[in-house]
Amino acid sequence: MTSQIAQQVNSFATRPYYSVDFDNGDSGCQFEILVNDVPVAKKMGIKGAMTSSAPINSCILHSGKQKLTIKLYPNVGKDRITTSDKNASPFTLSVSYRKDAWDHNDISEVTVFQLPPVAIPESGLPYFEKEFEFEAEVPYQFEGWSTSKDLTKIPDIEQKVMNKYEEIKKLLAAKNYGAFAKMKNKKDVEMNTSFYLKPNEVAEGDAFDREAFTEKNAEVQPFTNTKVVFYGNGRLVTLENIDDKGSALRTKIKHVSADGKVKEEVIKFPILFHIPKNSDELEIIR
């Protein structure tokens, strides 16, 4: 995998690196950000403000128009999206790119999209959703899930998804990272290529995933309070926790401090499945 990625990445003349920068201001609103109907960032079930950024190259399969979807929900415990300043937008977002991820002498960013201010009436908003488009140019082209089957039309898809998750859950309990790594090989190749990772960075990422998957003190969590959710215009599917909309495949570690206080750490393993056009089996693609 490493040599395959290195060969392709080294052949690129430039390596544009796209990201979204976002801020929910004093509204504290919950939100989801999707690129081409694939989640790239979200804050659900958590109160308060968040200012951050997220890379999005892995959701861009080829150059051209890309779809951006913004979903805003009221802050936890509220039924309306509100701001202290009626003229302030409850959420700001921009899409930008660095011209070459490998050029550390030029880290300036070019903005390709700026979210227009979201108007909030005095009574607040119960929900906000809107789609936008932006142009992206990348040196790679992936088939990804673009020709995959429409999973919403498969009658037993929910059972298929649950069966796959149970299969991976057993690997997680057995700490069998080798088998899991084989299942997600195509995902790793495409994602690492889209982020232009060098061989040492690929190795570091794999070591990080291995350590998380084989953490000896981690307890695998049951699939409770979950639901099957479709993305990628129906061509991707996952199992999410209903409360935080994060991956249902997760472990929990209890850390005990010197004074006896217990702090819990949750590790989530995000997975998106698809079924290739000439197959009937779910495969990990993101």
Averaged pLDDT for residues 36-61: 96
If we measure between CA atoms, which residue out of 211, 203, 200, 204 comes closest to residue 177?
Answer: 211
| 131-149 pLDDT per residue, tens | 999 999 999 999 999 999 9
CA dist., res. 272 & res. 183, Å (int) = 12
Q: What is the percentage of the chain residues whose pLDDT exceeds 70?
A: 100
| The total number of residues written for the chain in this structure | 286
Report which of 129, 132, 103, 134 is spatially closest to residue 19, judged by C-alpha positions: 134
pLDDT in tens, 185-220: 999 999 999 999 999 999 999 999 999 999 999 999
Query: What is the structure's pLDDT at 53?
Result: 97
Place of tokens 């495949």: 249
For 104-113, the pLDDT digits (tens) are 989 999 999 9
How far is residue 132 from each of residues 34, 77, 95, 173, measured CA to CA in Å? Answer: 10, 29, 11, 41
Q: pLDDT at position 257, please? A: 85
Q: Using the predicted structure, report yes or no on whether residue 180 has a pLDDT greater than 80.
A: yes
Confidence (pTM): 0.93
Q: What is the mean pLDDT of residues 207-234?
A: 97
CB of 165 within 8 A of CB of 183?
no
Helix then strand then coil, in percent of the chain rounded to 5, is 25, 30, 45
| Residues 35-46 pLDDT 10s | 999 999 999 999
